[in-house]
Structure formats: structure tokens, C-alpha cells
Structure 1
Amino acid sequence: MKNATSRFKATVTSPLGTLLLAASTQGLAGVWFSNQRHRPSEGLIHSWPTDASNPVLQATAQQLSRYWEGGLNRFDLPLDLSDGTLFQQSVWSALCAIPPGQTLRYGELASQIGRPAAVRAVGTAIGRNPLSIVVPCHRVVGADGSLTGYAGGLDRKAALLRLEQGGGLFSPPSPCHPA
């Protein structure tokens, strides 16, 4: 993380686990699940002061709450993507254009950013997305439409897609079929 020293943090609970939020003076810089891959080191996180009164962190917490309730499908927050390379930033920006409840294949996203041969690099950039949920990397699926590669876990990816498609976060219980 290039600019990670100038951060403020807060944590919020969600139906899918605790989320760490980070903001810079430019905007929201991080949303990570507690056991998410590519999360900043604990030492770095510890160095950030907690600031639950930060306006960006407060707005993020409020919008996430509405998202979990099914009342919000697009976030309206200032984003700070400056920790990524220009390529990563282009991928992360393209993710924001995927409509809620819809999915896009990695190859389609690579083509959309003008790099059709860079499918693996697109996948790597998506995996390094520091703004889970807000920059919707969970909306990208494999070439065959299957759920693949989510740094927060495939169970969370499936739940986020169900929520956005109007089905709620968790799978309904299987109906009993008498023998």
C-alpha cells in the first residue's frame, strides 16, 4: 500500500462478518472482511487511528447498513484508489459499471478495458481490490459463469450476489421431501 500511512479506520458488523473500513483524506480507501486475502498487515492496520466520527467512514457504515437491508444497490462515496497501479485502478473503475444483480466474465471485463489478452492480470487486479462490496468485484464470474476467485471467500460472493438479485443473503433451507 503506497499511501497507507495516512489512514483512519473503523469497524462495522455485517451479516457476513466484521468489516474493517479505512479512509484517507481523499475518500474511502478500504473495506475488508476480517479474514480476507490481501488485507493490509495487522501492524499497518494497528498504526491507523480509529475514528468512528470520520465523515467518510460514517457515510460508508450508513450505506452498508442500507445495502444489507436491500435498500441500496449503488454506493455514493468518494473513493481513494490511489494505492493501486494505473492498470488496477482501470479494472476497479470498470467494476463499478457492472449493474447490481448482474455478473460479467473476467474476459468480458478485460475486453471492456481494452486489454482482451490480459484476463489473468484482470483477475489479479480484482483479487487485490481494496474496496470489497463498494467496488463490486463479487459481480465477476468465470468463463463458464461459475463463481470463482473472491478474496473474501466464495460463500460471501454467493451471498452478495443473492442479495443483489433479490434473494436475500442466505440460501433458503432445503424443503423436506417425505420418503
Structure 2
Amino acid sequence: MKQKIIMILLLLGSAMGGAAQNALPDTLLFVFKLHGQTRKYEMTFTPQHDAFVLNWRILRNLKWQKGSYTLTPQAVKKGSVLSFLMPEDGRHVTLSEQETAYILSQEAYRNLKARQRFAYNHTEYELMDSDEHAAGFALLHVRDTLEGSEMWILDNPSLPLVWSMQNNPLEINWRVEINK
């Protein structure tokens, strides 16, 4: 009897652990590299109706600076421009209907999954592989066909997050880290 109880507890524990692996934490740490400097922003993505509100904050000079970006429902559905707008303390910005911040639109994500390519910022990206994983999801590794910029996108239709960007011609590169 004791063995059966232990076996059931082990099975329940492994089932719960598997479910937790496909869940993103509420707050993600974005580590940006620009001109030899590193900045770490805490970000939360909150669905709001058919839109997203991205709240960010960073500790600078012993004070929390914070602000937000709102992605409109139209941008979430069909946006085709990734915003590189620099965060400013106390600023709450609603992006245009073409712009997303740190995520792909649903249309771009569907194109990536169906055709292994999508266009963003007037640049064509093609799928290279999906060998890496983060937070229990595959990362879709894409590269632009002209300049070699690379992104790793969370294979999650609810939040196709740009987990990492490297070789960006604007030199704004980042990688998401999960605090443990």
C-alpha cells in the first residue's frame, strides 16, 4: 500500500512539473546589449481585451524607472513593424496599429508556421531551425535574408515573444532570461 501511495505521488509530481514547464513567468528579464553597455529591464505582458499592455521597469541610480507600451488589437492581429522605441521613465505609449513591441503579430506568426517565413520591418525572415527551447516551448530561429539579423521566437501562439535578437543592424540586441 505504501508503495502505491509513493508511486501515485511521484506520478502526480511529474505531471505537475510537466505542466509548469510550458508556463511563462509573470515577469521576464530582458537583457539588452548596445554599444558595449548592458541594461536589464523587467517586463510583463498583460492581455487586455484583444490588445497587450507591456509594463517595463529598470532599477537605475537606486530608483525604479517604469513605463508601458500598449499594443492595439489591430497591431496584435496584423502588425508588421517591430518597435525599437527607447523606454523613457514615466512614459506610457500606445504604439501605432502597425507596431508591436517584442512580440510578432498573429498574422506574422501564422505565416512563419505555415510558410517558414514572414515579413517584418520590410524585411523577409526565414526559419532556420527550432532546436533550442525556453520555458518549455521551442524557439523558432529565423534569419533575415539580406543582413543576417537573427531572432529566436517563442513558439507560442498566445505570445509569440521575440526571445532573443542578435546581429541587429540597429545594434539593439537582447535575450530574455528567467529569474530562478
* TM-score normalised per structure 1: 0.29
Task: Report the structure, 1 or 2, having the larger helix content.
Answer: 1
Bigger Cα Rg: 2
Which has the bigger relative contact order, CA under 8 A and spacing at least 6?
1
* TM-score normalised per structure 2: 0.29
